[in-house]
């Protein structure tokens, strides 16, 4: 049981990496939910697998570090695009007023 939990976490971690590389944000969301459930189950019954679980958790933290950084970059890019759109829209309204 303990080994299967670790294998599930590893499989989910690899799937997260794959989804991240493909920028499949919906899949990442589903995998995140699954990962949380798997980690909770493993933490509740970690007898005898503490070291292996720690290693899996460290690997997951690294994946989430990259995901978080990518999300911040995407959010900033979207914010910049929205700013440009709002300014363009305002400029268009001014031209319409005098056109």
- Residue 23: name the closest of 79, 84, 66 by CA: 66
* Residue 84 φ/ψ, nearest 5 degrees: -65, -45
Tens digit of pLDDT for each residue in 18-52?
Answer: 999 999 999 999 999 999 999 999 888 888 888 99
Task: Report pLDDT digits (tens) over 59-77.
Answer: 999 999 999 999 999 999 9
Query: What's the confidence (pLDDT) of residue 1?
Result: 66
What's the CA gap between 38 and 93, in Å, rounded?
53
């Amino acid at each position: 049981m303990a080994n299967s939990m670790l294998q599930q976490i590893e499989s989910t971690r690899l799937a997260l990496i794959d989804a991240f590389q493909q920028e499949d944000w919906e899949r990442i969301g589903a995998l995140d939910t699954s990962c949380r459930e798997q980690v909770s189950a493993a933490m509740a019954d970690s007898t005898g697998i503490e070291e292996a679980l720690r290693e899996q958790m460290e690997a997951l933290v690294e994946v989430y570090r990259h995901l978080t950084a990518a999300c911040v970059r995407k959010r900033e890019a979207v914010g910049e695009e929205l700013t440009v759109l709002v300014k363009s829209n305002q400029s268009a309204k001014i031209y319409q007023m005098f056109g």
